[in-house]
Chains A and B, each alone.
Chain A
């Protein structure tokens, strides 16, 4: 896959947005990560493979800069980028309620990758507050696989839905001169017009 200089620059900027967005999330004291906003943006502007590469680069970079464990979850970011790109192609970011649905579908898709990684490498545990929810589900008699799936889905669904809505809004408010640089945006605009 030969990437143009413009695409490489866009992906570099998107990786930075992913990292800075996590910091912005903390300013607003909201229980969401917002750390894949750049990945979704590239997926909507340039398609699934470029979105996947952006997600992969974000996690690898965070792995060598901040938290080595981020690198282990790189396949999850790849799936987020791929699924967002495919959804964008189907017009999943053309209306706000489609974006809402896209967020739900992305959360489901990432669960398919995150659950096996989490169970096989980490025994289903994350070491965060969501482990209390996991413990409650297990205590209620649910299996480890079902409990981890529910925990991961519930921890991500609000975040990914809000991120998808934010990306829909960003794309909708883009100036025409920027829009013109991204032909893939046609998929997100065709149903809206």
Chain B
């Protein structure tokens, strides 16, 4: 499972912080995106990046930011500042050739790009310091139904098994003549010979899995709320969410 997650092991304060509180902090960041102008968000991005570096996650966050936000920000600027028709279009004086842009479009592109970057950096920090199973345990402690926890946990445990199974099916079907190297039409026609056995096998297993789960009585697990969710954590979560709502209300009133 570890190959498929963005979680990075560590012992920082952020790693140790309750996943429920981190989720509330992420919700606060999401609300803040629509409250503050882009220079404030950009400053926040720099602070978050510096924080990532102090947690030894700087390279991890910066690389993903470059791959995911780089092309996005570039396309935003080209489309909103350069291509969309606008009344305020003017020539970019710094260049020797005629290149026109819209200052309002550029402002909008920077706002959307900074919102994207802020949310991306914050959520990368969240996923890099929160193990998915710890998050699900925390949600369960908050009263989330065992069925929901199972739905989100079981794929994490099944991905490796299914990946191995699909590789095995691919290899055996290739020995029987399945072609994944030919023209696109040949490759397309080969898709069912991999998917049909994979899905049929998966559906065959389903009843057995369900029977085992029922036998274990997984829906009747004792609530673990008292053990994991302390009172101060509940106060912290409520306070963070209250601040998020309050700033959104103030922004809408101004």
- SS class, residues of chain B in contact with chain A: helix
B109, B135, B162, B214: the one contacting A123 at CB < 8 Å is B109
Contacts of B151 in A (CB 8 A): 8, 11-12, 15, 53, 57
CA distance A12 to B188 in the complex (A): 27
CA distance A174 to B197 in the complex (A): 10
CA distance A57 to B150 in the complex (A): 11
Band of interface residues on A: 35 or more
Interface residues of A in 1-54 (CB under 8 A from B): 3-6, 8-13, 15-17, 19-21, 23-24, 27-30, 37, 41, 53
- SS class, residues of chain A in contact with chain B: helix
Least distance between A192 CB and chain B CB atoms (Å): 17
The total of Cβ contacts below 8 Å across the A-B interface reads 179
A10, A53, A125, A181: the one contacting B76 at CB < 8 Å is A125
Contacts of B195 in A (CB 8 A): 21, 24, 37, 166, 170
- Bits for B60-100, please: 1 = Cβ < 8 Å to A, else 0: 00000000111111011011100110000000000000000
B148 closest partner in A (C-beta)? A57
A8, A127, A181: the one contacting B72 at CB < 8 Å is A127
- Which of B40-48, B200-208, B224-232 touches A? B200-208
A5, A17, A37: the one contacting B214 at CB < 8 Å is A5
Interface residues of A in 121-146 (CB under 8 A from B): 121-128, 131, 134-135, 138-139, 144
Contacts of A126 in B (CB 8 A): 72, 75
Least distance between A151 CB and chain B CB atoms (Å): 11
